[in-house]
Structure 1
Amino acid sequence: MKRAKKNMDELRRHLEAMRSHGHGPARVFEDWVALCFYALQRDDESYLEIMGRYDNAVRIDGMRPADRFAAAFACLVQAMEASSSELLGDLFMEYASDKYTGQFFTPWSVSSMMAEMVTPAEGERCLDCACGAGGQLVAAGLAMRHAGHDVRKSLFMGVDISFTCCAMTAINLTLRDLPGVVVHGDSLRLLTWAGWKIVRTPLMPPRLVRMTIEEATEWMEGPVRMGLEQERAKEEERGAEEPEVAMPPKPAYADMPMFRGMT
């Protein structure tokens, strides 16, 4: 954990240094996540488009913006090797959540506890329809490994309306070697805008590959729709089983003028 903290502190120093180039913390963080995301896809065109926003002719403390972003990614990889915790969600809340009027993710301790309490069976699909940084999926994969399950036989799927959240989830699944699918879309309205999958081949590290819009839509309209329908059925079943709760009697003071209308 000390090594992971050291790596994360170094990562923060690189991101903070980018503010000297005149960019706000939310912009720097989102661009860095996108650069990591595109690097894992080997998408040079999108990578260079983002880097075009920064003046790489200027060096601060001997480092260009491109050097800072690359060094921050290296720190993240090293921190993930040293810690099983999900790390990107905390960085998002630190640098970018204020931009969205307070978007907060489930704390890692809660996600981890939930996954340990209800550990998915080997071969099951794990679906999070509002995945954020992918913390719950990472926690599920960790709990399965602790239980001796082979996570390669399962599938981890995340959906989110935010591109940055989808990118963080895809980075987490790829670097944690969790086979999965990430869909950028609205799981409430079953709208799909893009999708990516983590592909694993023998003797090669996991690769992040962009899906066609048709393939991404199939994932949204298949597992997501099925998952939502199952949850609705469970809620209706629970509602039918719950006994009707009798309302408490009206208190005697309720008719007094000073309390009238408060009960």
Structure 2
Amino acid sequence: MTGMTDYEKAFITLFNQTARYHHRHKVFEDFVSCSVIALENRLCFSEERERKYLRIAGSYQKPDMNRMAQLLAHVVNGLQAGFCDFLGQAFMQLDLGDKYRGQFFTPWDVSVMMASVLLGDVKTLFKQKTFITLSEPACGAGCMVLAVADTLNQAGYALHRHLWFSATDVDPLAAGMAYIQLSLCGVAGEVVIGNSLMNERRRILYTPAHYFGNWAYRLKAREKGTGSVMI
């Protein structure tokens, strides 16, 4: 995707109007944290998560918490209009990928090209497989997984049946962005906050499609030779 959609422009405009009394990076982190909690608590309510949400909300004026909800609505609408790295692009447009954090996200068009090369002939890929699994050891905001999912979707393969992913990032902010986007796009899998090189898994977030698609059972019962795609 080149350029910015109307939803992304609306997101950035609204974000810049939200909680001007806080540092921009803090507002973005809190927006991501609150959105993750909202998505998780819709699946399985947790008092601990709710307390974290209330702690965050306590540092904002009520109109700004309302704007947080509106920001998430822009993300939902943007992803419904077409798969993209909505949050990764917004993050970079807001100049939040500063050098001291080293956070820079791969452009969507590059990820789509890489996904096409990775998957090759999709019909041939599924001749002897009912589904594929995808491992992304440094997922960022989930752009590469989204690009693979979009490629399968464009080829006519239902994501909830044909793809399961495991995406890891050492940065909780990036992992949270990935969880939001992959959840909203209906992709089944897990987002892991941890270090792939050290096999560290500090926290695991399962997307709604993981539960709805009964993937815990499918992964355990899959026949030998189903195979996986590693990136």
Do Structure 1 and Structure 2 share a fold, with TM-score over 0.5?
A: yes
Percent identity, aligned pairs only, is: 29
What is the CA distance between 1:118 and its match in structure 2?
2.1
What is the CA distance between 1:101 and its match in structure 2?
4.2
Report whether the alignment pairs 1:183 with 2:192. Answer: yes
What is the CA distance between 1:99 and its match in structure 2?
6.3
Report whether the alignment pairs 1:130 with 2:129. Answer: no
Which has the higher relative contact order, 1 or 2, with Cα contacts under 8 A spaced 6 or more apart? 2
d(CA) in 1 for partners of 2:100, 2:57: 24
Output one character per residue of 1:202-242: Cα deviation in whole Å (capped at 9) or x when no partner. 9x7x9xxxxxxxxxxxxxxxxxxxx9xx89xxxxxxxxxxx
The structure 2 residue matched to 1:142, chosen from 150, 160, 164, is: 150
d(CA) in 2 for partners of 1:118, 1:104: 22
- How do residues 213-224 of structure 1 correspond to structure 2 at under 5 angstroms? none
Asked if the contact 2:8/2:90 (under 8 Å) is kept, the reply is: no
Q: Secondary structure at the match of 2:191?
A: strand
d(CA) in 1 for partners of 2:7, 2:156: 29
Q: Secondary structure at the match of 1:85?
A: coil
TM-score by length of 1: 0.68
Which residue of the partner structure matches residue 88 of structure 1?
A: 87
- How do residues 1-263 of structure 1 correspond to structure 2 at under 5 angstroms? 5-20=5-20, 22-42=21-41, 43-56=49-62, 64-95=63-94, 96-98=96-98, 100-119=100-119, 121-122=125-126, 123-152=131-160, 153-200=162-209
**RMSD over equivalenced CA pairs, Å:** 2.4
Output one character per residue of 1:95-152: Cα deviation in whole Å (capped at 9) or x when no partner. 4211634421111111001111222644111111000000000000011112222322
Asked if the contact 2:15/2:71 (under 8 Å) is kept, the reply is: yes
Asked if the contact 1:26/1:99 (under 8 Å) is kept, the reply is: no
Q: Taking structure 1 as reference, are residues 45 and 101 closer, same or farther at Cα in structure 2, changes over 3 Å only? A: closer
Q: Taking structure 1 as reference, are residues 124 and 201 closer, same or farther at Cα in structure 2, changes over 3 Å only? A: closer
- What is the number of residues matched between the two proteins? 197
Output one character per residue of 1:43-63: Cα deviation in whole Å (capped at 9) or x when no partner. 42222121112133xxxxxxx
What is the CA distance between 1:73 and its match in structure 2?
0.8
d(CA) in 2 for partners of 1:199, 1:18: 29
What is the CA distance between 1:34 and its match in structure 2?
1.0
Structure 1 residue ranges (4+ consecutive) displaced by more than 6 angstroms after TM superposition: none
